[in-house]
Amino acid sequence: MDSEIICDASEEKTMTEDTTVSCYDDHAQAYDAYQFAAVPGYREMLDLAAEAARRYLSPDARIIDLGCGTGNASLAVLGKMPSARIFLLDGSERMVSVAREKISSAHPRAILGYRVADLAENWAEGLESEGYDCIVSTLVLEHLPLDRYRRAIEECFRLLKPGGWLIASEGYAEEGSDMREWFFQEMEVRRRALDPKLSDFVAGLRGELEQHYYTSKARKAQWWQEAGFCSSAVLWQYLCIALMAGRKPL
């Protein structure tokens, strides 16, 4: 087993308080402009997550968008599966509000429900066990401390119907590889093409407040398996960001 690797954008900030959600809450309105322009592979990753949903699910699937942000993964899925219904969940009230607005204007009947909740706490309370065909989660789960990550994966397993899918893109770290540094260097170059006021505002917030907890794909794949998922596979990877899909046995 590889050693546990925990990385944080700022070594200085306190690890007792999770500041990631407030970081996103503070830039909910600027999120899309920054994210699409600055994050390498972002659009491609969303497209493939949506393609996987179309490939593995029935057209009227019930899906949770876990850490929905401004709803980009949901919109990508609905673009390919317009009859799907989506439950939105994120810790940031403002992100959920932007997501609801975007989705309800493009797909008025698609939102099953929504919740503002902390994924490190009791976010799944009251959600129907075996009530969902799929959980999609893009660029979220690496914000959870690793013990909370494992608990969240177990909750995902509980919420999925037999045969349901977890489709998640996350940041990973592999011992001896510089792919994280490379990724963040690319992001730094890309963000310079944006209006400096917007770019510096978002990058400054993320540098100060965002927390990441990275470990290897092999380790997380093992946790998925221990939670009960079978056949978890890496569908796509760009440097340190990979998209994995795993199925709950029938």
Ligand X SMILES: C[S@@+](CC[C@H](N)C(=O)[O-])C[C@H]1O[C@@H](n2cnc3c(N)ncnc32)[C@H](O)[C@@H]1O
The residues binding ligand X (CB under 6 A) are: 18, 20-21, 24, 35, 67-69, 72-73, 90-92, 95, 118-120, 138-140, 143-144
Least CB distance to ligand X at residue 64 (A)? 12
User: Is the CB of residue 67 less than 8 Å from the CB of residue 140?
Assistant: yes
Least CB distance to ligand X at residue 23 (A)? 8
- In the chain, how many H helices and how many E strands? 9, 7
**Nearest residue to ligand X, scored by beta-carbon proximity:** 69
User: Is the CB of residue 92 less than 8 Å from the CB of residue 106?
Assistant: no
Choice between 77 and 119, CB closer to ligand X? 119
Query: Can you spell out the DSSP letters for 226-239?
Result: HHT-EEEEEEEEET
E-state strands within the chain = 62-66, 85-90, 111-116, 132-138, 160-171, 230-238, 241-247
Least CB distance to ligand X at residue 195 (A)? 20
Choice between 75 and 160, CB closer to ligand X? 75
Choice between 29 and 231, CB closer to ligand X? 29
Choice between 97 and 225, CB closer to ligand X? 97
Q: What is the DSSP letter of 216?
A: -
Least CB distance to ligand X at residue 227 (A)? 18
Cα–Cα distance for residue pair 148/94, rounded to 1 Å:
23
Choice between 145 and 225, CB closer to ligand X? 145
CA 248 to chain centre: 19
Least CB distance to ligand X at residue 180 (A)? 15
Q: Token digits for 88?
A: 């939105």
